[in-house]
A and B are shown apart, each in its own frame.
Chain A
Amino acid sequence: MIEVKGVSKIFTRDGKSFEALRDVSFDVDTGRFISLIGPSGCGKTTLLKMMAGLVKPTEGVIAIEGKEVTGSGQDRALVFQNFVLLPWADVLTNAAFGLEARGVPKKEREEIARAHLDRVGLGGFEKNYPHELSGGMQQRVGIARALAVDPDTLLMDEPFGSLDAITRHVMQHDLLRLWQETATKTTVFVTHSMEEAVLLSDQVVVMDTRPGRVSQVVDVPFPRPRDQDLSDSADYLEFTAELSHKLEQMQRMDMARSVDDRFDRDD
């Protein structure tokens, strides 16, 4: 279980401070899939990085299974929006990187990596290099890399944000299937897209911006296992549309506010 308790984050640069997150609190039950969604600047990526242990909260605490998060750990793995693969290493080496970081010997880690590459549908591409693969395939390598270390918690930072619409659609459904088939892990998924969030998650945490804070936590009422048909169903479209509108409203209000700010500020 992930507990976020009263987390705030203030960034300071050149004397100016920027409040990224204010008093964010919510819980994620073990084995559940939740999405963080909100307009730009609402701090969702910062929050994710805090869970990963890459950023420390200014105030408040994040605890996983009762233990406070103080740094990166073996129980968590991150998937990045820009894939962040090593361009000079082949797919197998990339997928095995997390294991290599854990000190797993070569033969073993290559075996494990190979298995995970199979699972994400990249069997046979082990010897290829990232620049030879499409965006979707590269992200699959990123996902395989994260799953290979068998983390308790999977953290995904807008993993499909860099992909074109069609690929994104395919990846969403593949992820859904993968997640539901295997030992379901606690997953925190940051996204911009309400359709994506509702399709994949058990819970959606809607955040507002400036400062970043939780606006609403919504339970997604659709039962699992979910599949392709869900995205065509009327209930889903209605539910998603409603939440989308709310999100849009927040975004518009934020844009208006930022224009006002610009006129008020005396720089």
Chain B
Amino acid sequence: MAEIDTRVESRGEVQTSPRRGLSSLLDPPRLVGAAALIVGFLAWELYARSLENNIFFPTVGSMFEGLVALVQDPDFWAAYRLTLVPFLWGWVTSMVAGVVIGLIAGLNKTVWRLISPYVSFFHALPVSVLVPVMVVAFGIGLLASSSIVFLFGFFEVLLSTVVGVSYISDDVRDMTRSFGMGRVRAFRRVVLPGAMPAIMAGLRIGTGRAVVGMVVMELLLVSVGVGRLIIRYRALFQADLLYALVVTLAIFGLLALAGMRRLENYVLRWRGDA
């Protein structure tokens, strides 16, 4: 309750640093957090056990068993491989297009003003409604599924890049010009590095969105990948496998985000204490 503390600061040491190393597990926040998860699992287990059958709600145990079964099933890995192809296509193109167009729009006010109504519209729109449009346009093949992932990631990256660049350009353009620095040079040495934090953040969030797009694509398109497995497990009421599959999707999302965060910290390592 330190924030709303009405007590006087105590004598002597004010412990501000969290414990390091293994004893960090004993940190009250982590302890209570871990306890919260344990309570959650317990409640789940108890409820699941109280049910007559577990076709909607598996026990925690059977879910973990399902997870093990999946990992050992070659069909599972094949499904992911098939899902990953459109994901990678859509993700990479959305990052690249988002940054490139974002840079152009961020540097040129007129370009931005021309496209901003569209960007605002698509940003406020639930992107998933564009899925049927993609299907009509491209069928149900790789192009359609990749484009869905693309749409989810693109607008986020675009917006962040535009904001990042335009914040820098204004102030700094005058400064570089007063020193006689050429525009290309100024861009490379000053504007781009300055906009990097915003761009990297945009890439990270955009990646999260691309993963969401991947799942949406699997759910709404006739799928040969993970979506197919989802339909199968649901139809056969194999709740344990379904839940386990969803867990793998969550893990995939976490990994993607963690990877991007690593990249972000590496690129922005001059930032010091991020």
Asked if the two chains touch in their complex, CB atoms less than 8 Å apart, one says: yes
Task: Mark A residues whose CB is within 8 Å of B.
Answer: 10-15, 53-58, 70-72
18 chain-A/chain-B pairs, Cβ below 8 angstroms: A10-B12, A11-B14, A12-B13, A12-B14, A13-B16, A13-B17, A14-B16, A55-B9, A56-B8, A56-B9, A56-B11, A57-B11, A58-B11, A58-B12, A70-B8, A71-B7, A71-B8, A72-B8
Chain A residues whose CB sits within 8 angstroms of the CB of B16 once the complex forms: 13-14
With both beta carbons as reference points, the residue of chain B lying nearest to A10 in the complex is identified as B12
Is B17 within 8 A of A53, CB to CB?
A: no
Interface residues of B, CB < 8 Å — how many? Answer: 10
Q: How far is the CA of A15 from the CA of B15 in the complex (A)?
A: 9
With both beta carbons as reference points, the residue of chain A lying nearest to B13 in the complex is identified as A12
Is B14 within 8 A of A54, CB to CB?
A: no
Q: Mark B87-99, 1 if CB is under 8 A from A, else 0.
A: 0000000000000
Interface presence of B178 (CB below 8 A): no
Q: How far is the CA of A23 from the CA of B11 in the complex (A)?
A: 16
With both beta carbons as reference points, the residue of chain A lying nearest to B14 in the complex is identified as A12
Interface presence of B10 (CB below 8 A): yes
Which DSSP category, helix, strand, loop or mixed, fits chain B's interface? loop
Is A13 within 8 A of B14, CB to CB?
A: yes
Q: How far is the CA of A79 from the CA of B12 in the complex (A)?
A: 26
Chain A residues whose CB sits within 8 angstroms of the CB of B12 once the complex forms: 10, 12, 58
Chain B proximity of A266: nearest CB distance (Å): 20
Is A56 within 8 A of B10, CB to CB?
A: yes
Chain B residues whose CB sits within 8 angstroms of the CB of A11 once the complex forms: 14
Q: A14, A55, A58: which contacts B8 (Cβ < 8 A)? A: A55
Q: How far is the CA of A56 from the CA of B12 in the complex (A)?
A: 8
**Which residues of B10-29 are within 8 A (CB) of A?**
10-14, 16-17
Q: How far is the CA of A57 from the CA of B11 in the complex (A)?
A: 7
Chain B residues whose CB sits within 8 angstroms of the CB of A70 once the complex forms: 8
With both beta carbons as reference points, the residue of chain A lying nearest to B12 in the complex is identified as A58
Chain B residues whose CB sits within 8 angstroms of the CB of A15 once the complex forms: 17
Q: How far is the CA of A10 from the CA of B7 in the complex (A)?
A: 19
Chain B residues whose CB sits within 8 angstroms of the CB of A55 once the complex forms: 8-9
Q: Mark B179-216, 1 if CB is under 8 A from A, else 0.
A: 00000000000000000000000000000000000000
Chain B residues whose CB sits within 8 angstroms of the CB of A10 once the complex forms: 12
Is B17 within 8 A of A14, CB to CB?
A: yes
Q: How far is the CA of A14 from the CA of B10 in the complex (A)?
A: 16
Q: A12-B14, A58-B11, A71-B7 are in contact. List 14 more A-B contacts (CB 8 A).
A: A11-B14, A13-B16, A13-B17, A14-B16, A14-B17, A15-B17, A54-B9, A55-B8, A56-B8, A56-B9, A58-B12, A70-B8, A71-B8, A72-B8
Is A53 within 8 A of B8, CB to CB?
A: yes
With both beta carbons as reference points, the residue of chain B lying nearest to A53 in the complex is identified as B8
Which residue, B8, B11, B17, has most C-beta atoms of chain A within 10 A? B8
Q: How far is the CA of A14 from the CA of B17 in the complex (A)?
A: 6
Q: How far is the CA of A55 from the CA of B12 in the complex (A)?
A: 11
